[in-house]
């Protein structure tokens, strides 16, 4: 890396749902409108991004799963089935 070359920063959400700049990309993506998080390769999220529309405007990223849950997001029922079932069970559903 050249000394004057700017470092790439990614915008992630913290456990309170506030954005911050990170030198590392997030490991999980989410949707702020639906309050759902999942893997970056989630078929549902990738399909929504491919269709275009408002989904991309509400896309957020998290450093890890614990941070996403602390921010009040729930696991995706498609790409994170086990975590989703645990989340549902914890809510008494």
Q: What would the DSSP string read from start to end of the chain?
A: --TTSPPP-EEEE-TTS-EEEESS--SEEEETTTTEEEETT-HHHHHHHHH-GGGGGGEEEESSHHHHHHTT-EE-TTT-HHHHHHHHHHTT-
pLDDT tens-place string over residues 36-69 = 999 999 999 999 999 988 889 999 999 999 999 9
Residue 10 pLDDT > 90, yes or no?
A: yes
Query: What per-residue confidence (pLDDT) applies to 40?
Result: 97
Provide the pairing of β-strand 74-75 with 36-39: parallel
Number of domains in the chain: 1
pLDDT band at 5 (very low <50, low <70, confident <90, very high): low
Residue 30 belongs to a domain: yes
Please indicate, yes or no, if residue 5 is contained in any of the structural domains.
no
The answer to whether residues 30 and 74 touch, using CB atoms and an 8 Å cutoff, is no
> How many angstroms from the chain centroid is the CA of residue 85?
18
Residue 46 located in a structural domain:
yes
Q: Provide the domain limits for residue 33.
A: 10-90
Question: Is residue 1 in some structural domain?
Answer: no
CATH of the domain at 48: 3.40.10
Whether 15 maps to a domain, the answer reads: yes
Mean pLDDT computed over every residue of the chain = 92
């Amino acid at each position: 890396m050249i000394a004057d070359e700017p470092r790439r920063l990614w915008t992630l959400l913290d456990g309170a749902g506030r954005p911050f700049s990170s030198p590392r990309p997030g490991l999980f993506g989410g949707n702020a409108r639906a309050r759902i998080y999942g893997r970056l390769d989630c078929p549902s999220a990738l399909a929504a991004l491919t269709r275009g529309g408002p989904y991309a405007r509400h896309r957020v990223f998290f450093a890890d799963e614990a941070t996403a849950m602390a921010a009040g997001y729930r696991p995706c029922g498609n790409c994170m089935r086990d975590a989703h079932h645990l989340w549902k069970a914890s809510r008494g559903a």
